[in-house]
């Protein structure tokens, strides 16, 4: 996976896990410089025909473009310490505004996001964060590789946007290989549990999603039923734009978190959460906070409750961070904070790294231990000083899954535990191979975990392999190799356990976007979404093409269908499409305007670095950071809403 222009900010680890050890020995903390990669990728060889073969490395000098090529991605300077982050942590680097007109397929931008969000209420994308991302969390944009910072993809000389061109002879060979692979992989049938996700699986945040196992059979072994229906006219208009908040000096403030209910579009601002009318954008309510949001759960209960982590006070130059110790339950309908809780280890407040919600349980994790509360505010469990392991974090939704860390940094073993959300009792456990330091929960039902085995991904995505696990027995069902140079999904599992995007899980399938590659047009880029069977680990043979000049990214499941966003070429507007679970037929649900002013706003937010929510003909995009106004754009926006008539 090539890196997008803006390298994602990193979040330093802090503290965590349910019932785990509290006072961790020094060796549990990672060294300042991570150890060298443990070795080659231990996963299985990639399946043939993943959607597009890897292009050769030798580029050909292109002719003068007929259409305006995009500006080459620039390496952004390191910003000063950002507010809203723990003291001593590097400030995040929000995506830069394009310096010129966006180019074909927006090279340098990766397809957007999974995360786990999945069947959020009213189509809220899940982490699957967001993407971007899946995704509200500590406010960090998908970035991986802490403590090292991922470097942006640099195009090669003579190649706009870094695209690789291969000659006609090779193209013929490649086409034949792909055709054969698709024929071989085309006979896989689909499995459906027949169970539809409830609202408690709904999620919000960075693009991405999981779930959606229900629906009726489409006659081809899959399911097609979903709530999202194609309008008579998918043409959309701008419903409203929320101006970016004013930020003083050069600080960067977290504004992570967005949700969608039947009444409001809700978005975090600087030390506040605001509910907006879904169509007009007018303020319905405003909830002030003592300090900036650190992270927001992507999940929402049946009665529209969600949870956030925030700082107890506003940062200052003298004290740039007060830690992420405040846990709050928010009523998204009333715009009220129902309660605020903190947890201590000894006499010290724990600063948490992640927060999630499963059923009626709010769970938080950190390197100091994990804790959980019932939505009534009752403490369910907290760190135990006698524990020798700790819950680094939790994945929520239909089930609650803990990533429990045992052993020292150089002898780490991760335990993936499905637990009872009311008592914390372990239901099943899968022990990962020793030496894997970080893992991310992609989906809790079915249980899918992503990890960078042996630091072999090599692209900052945080993913080399996916692990499909039976949550009832704790046994490994299958392991899926996902080489970074082929697939564009990403996870931020350094401290945020539930922060993946550019992917989705449903129909007992894992849906991944391929990396961008050359399209059929001159200088154009494109990609596809492909599916893996979570029982066998093999590709199903299904492929959804983005179309020339577009790049496609999974957002979430809708019953048995997949909702995806198509980032447009420089002269068109983006699209939301529904992809049938069996036939993979695409239906356009929303088409954004192609006027330059609208395109500028839309393309300032990408699925991997922003929060995307789609439901009932409405698409909302929002940023997860606010910073000093750029001189590149006359106007900058925190959020924008699109809608069909």
Q: Are 531 and 539 in contact (CB under 8 A)?
A: yes
Mean pLDDT across 309-314: 96
| Residue 632: per-residue pLDDT | 60
The answer to whether residue 331 scores a pLDDT higher than 70 is yes
**pLDDT tens digit string along 445-499?**
999 999 999 887 777 888 999 999 999 999 999 999 999 899 999 998 777 899 9
Q: How confident is the model at residue 250 (pLDDT cuts 50, 70, 90)?
A: confident
pLDDT for residue 170 is more than 70: no
End-to-end CA distance of the chain: 37
Contacts 24+ apart (CB under 8 A), 334-340: 334/285, 335/273, 335/275, 335/284, 335/285, 335/286, 335/287, 336/287, 337/287, 337/289, 338/305, 338/375, 338/377, 339/377
> Is residue 346 left, alpha or beta, with left meaning phi > 0 and alpha meaning psi from -120 to 50?
left
| Continuous H helices in 126-212 | 168-185
Longest dimension (CA), the chain: 70
Residue 40 scores a pLDDT above 50: no
Strands 618-623, 637-644: pairing is antiparallel
Q: How far is CA 175 from the centre of its chain?
A: 31
Q: Return the pLDDT at 633.
A: 57
Q: Which helix (H) or strand (E) holds 395?
A: strand 389-395
Under DSSP, is residue 451 helix (H, G, I), strand (E, B) or coil? strand
What would the mean pLDDT of 143-154 be, rounded to a whole number? 34
For residue 87, the model assigns a pLDDT of 38
DSSP code string of 247-309: --TT-EEE---EEE-SSEEEEEETTEEEEEETTT--EEEEEE-SS-EEEE-SB--TTSEEEEE
Q: Is the pLDDT of residue 44 over 60?
A: no
The per-residue pLDDT for range 505-516, each reduced to its tens digit, is 999 999 999 999
Is the pLDDT score of 126 beyond 50? no
**Does residue 285 have a pLDDT over 60?**
yes
* 174, pLDDT greater than 60: no
The token pair that represents 7 in the structure block: 């390298």
Q: Indicate the pLDDT class of residue 409, thresholds 50, 70 and 90.
A: confident
Coil/strand/helix, residue 450: strand
Q: Residue 600: which H helix or E strand, with range?
A: helix 596-603
Q: Provide mean pLDDT across the span 219-225.
A: 50
Say if residue 101's pLDDT is above 50. no
Pick the closest to residue 368 from 31, 86, 13 (CA basis).
Answer: 13
CA 633/CA 361 separation, integer angstroms: 43
In the prediction, which pLDDT does 630 show?
A: 66
Q: What is the pLDDT of residues 333-389, one digit of tens each?
A: 999 999 999 999 989 999 999 999 999 999 999 999 999 999 999 999 999 888 899
The residue-averaged pLDDT of 158-165 equals 37
pLDDT value of position 521: 86
CB atoms within 10 A of CB 633: 14
Residue 326's contacts (CB-CB under 8 Å, 6 or more residues apart) are 290, 291, 309, 310, 311, 312, 340, 341, 342
**Strand order of the sheet with strand 504-506?**
209-210, 504-506, 509-513, 528-533, 539-545
Instruction: Assess whether pLDDT exceeds 80 at residue 419.
Output: yes
> Are the C-beta atoms of residues 266 and 275 closer than 8 Å to each other?
yes
Tell me which of 46-60, 115-129, 229-243, 294-308 is least confident: 115-129
Provide the pLDDT for residue 645: 82
Percent of the chain with pLDDT over 70: 64
Q: Does the pLDDT value for residue 212 go beyond 90?
A: no
Q: Is the pLDDT of residue 172 over 80?
A: no
Confidence of residue 517 (pLDDT cuts 50, 70, 90): very high
Q: Check residue 225 and give its pLDDT.
A: 76
Whole-angstrom Cα Rg for the chain: 22
> Residue 203 above 90 pLDDT?
no
For tokens 């899940």, the residue is 126
Report d(CA 185, CA 166) in Å as an integer.
Answer: 25
Tokens 């600063």 label which residue? 351
pLDDT given for residue 227 in this prediction:
94
**CB-neighbour burial class of residue 306 (10 A; exposed 0-12, middle 13-18, buried 19+):** buried
C-alpha 494/C-alpha 34 separation (Å) is: 12
Highest mean pLDDT among 5-14, 72-81, 296-305, 519-528 belongs to 296-305
111-124, pLDDT tens digit by residue? Answer: 333 333 333 344 34
Q: What pLDDT does 364 receive? A: 98
Whether the pLDDT of residue 408 is over 70: the answer is yes
Look up tokens 């924008």; give the residue. 640
Kindly state the average pLDDT of the residues 543-572. 97
**What is the predicted pLDDT for the residue at 631?**
65
Mean pLDDT of the chain, nearest integer? 75
- Residue 598 is inside which H or E element, if any? helix 596-603
Strands (E), 523-585: 525-526, 528-533, 539-545, 551-558, 561-567, 575-579
């Amino acid at each position: 996976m090539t890196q997008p222009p803006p390298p994602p900010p990193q979040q330093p680890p802090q503290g965590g896990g349910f019932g785990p050890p509290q006072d961790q020995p020094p060796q549990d903390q990672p060294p300042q410089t991570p150890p060298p990669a443990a070795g080659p990728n231990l996963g299985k060889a990639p399946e043939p025909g993943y959607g597009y073969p890897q292009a050769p490395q030798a580029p050909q000098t292109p002719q003068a473009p007929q259409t305006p090529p995009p500006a080459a991605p620039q390496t952004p300077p390191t910003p000063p310490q950002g507010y809203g982050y723990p003291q001593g942590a590097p400030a995040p680097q929000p995506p830069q505004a394009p310096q010129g007109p966006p180019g074909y397929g927006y090279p340098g931008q990766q397809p957007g996001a999974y995360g786990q969000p999945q069947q959020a209420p009213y189509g809220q994308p899940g982490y699957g964060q967001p993407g971007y991302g899946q995704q509200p969390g500590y406010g960090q944009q998908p970035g991986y590789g802490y403590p090292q910072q991922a470097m942006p993809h640099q195009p090669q000389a003579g190649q706009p946007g870094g695209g690789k061109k291969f000659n006609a002879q090779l193209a013929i060979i490649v086409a034949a290989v792909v055709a054969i692979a698709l024929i071989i992989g085309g006979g896989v049938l689909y499995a459906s549990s027949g169970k539809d996700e409830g609202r408690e699986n709904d999620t919000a945040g960075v693009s991405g999603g999981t779930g959606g196992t229900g629906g009726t059979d489409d006659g081809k072994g899959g399911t097609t039923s979903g709530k999202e229906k194609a309008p008579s006219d998918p043409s959309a208009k701008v419903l409203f734009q929320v101006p970016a908040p004013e930020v003083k000096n050069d600080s960067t403030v977290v504004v992570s978190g967005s949700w969608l209910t039947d009444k409001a579009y809700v978005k975090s601002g600087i030390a506040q959460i605001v509910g907006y009318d879904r169509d007009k954008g007018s303020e319905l309510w405003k909830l002030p906070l003592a300090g900036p949001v650190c992270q927001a759960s992507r999940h929402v209960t049946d009665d529209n409750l969600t949870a956030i982590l925030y700082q107890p006070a506003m940062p200052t130059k003298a004290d740039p961070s007060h830690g992420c110790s405040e846990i709050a339950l928010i009523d998204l309908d009333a715009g009220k904070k129902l309660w605020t809780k903190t947890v201590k280890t000894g006499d010290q407040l724990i600063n948490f790294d992640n927060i999630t919600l499963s059923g009626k349980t709010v769970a938080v994790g950190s390197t100091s231990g994990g804790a959980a509360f019932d939505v009534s505010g009752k403490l369910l469990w907290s760190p135990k000083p006698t524990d020798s392991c700790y819950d680094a974090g939790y994945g929520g939704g239909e089930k609650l899954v803990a990533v429990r860390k045992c052993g020292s940094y150089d002898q780490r073993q991760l335990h993936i535990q499905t637990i009872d959300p009311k008592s914390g009792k372990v239901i099943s456990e899968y022990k990962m191979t020793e030496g894997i330091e970080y893992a991310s929960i992609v989906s809790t039902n079915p249980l899918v975990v992503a990890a960078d085995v042996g630091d072999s991904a090599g692209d900052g995505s945080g993913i080399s392999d996916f692990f499909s696990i039976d949550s009832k027995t704790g046994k490994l069902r299958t392991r899926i190799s996902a080489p970074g140079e082929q697939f564009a999904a990403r996870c931020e599992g350094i401290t945020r356990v539930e922060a993946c995007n550019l992917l989705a899980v449903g129909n007992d399938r894992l849906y991944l976007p391929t990396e961008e590659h050359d399209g059929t047009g001159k200088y154009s880029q494109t990609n596809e979404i492909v599916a893996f069977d979570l029982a066998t680990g093999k590709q199903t043979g299904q492929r959804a093409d983005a179309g020339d000049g577009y790049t496609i990214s999974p957002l979430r499941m809708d019953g048995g269908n997949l909702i995806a966003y198509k980032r447009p070429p420089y002269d068109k507007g983006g699209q939301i499409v529904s992809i049938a679970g069996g036939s993979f037929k695409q239906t356009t649900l929303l088409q954004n305007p192609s006027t330059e002013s609208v395109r500028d706003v839309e393309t300032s937010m990408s699925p991997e670095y922003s929060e995307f929510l789609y439901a009932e003909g409405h698409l909302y995009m929002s940023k997860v950071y606010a910073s000093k106004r750029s001189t590149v754009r006359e106007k900058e926006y925190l959020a924008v809403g699109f809608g069909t008539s």
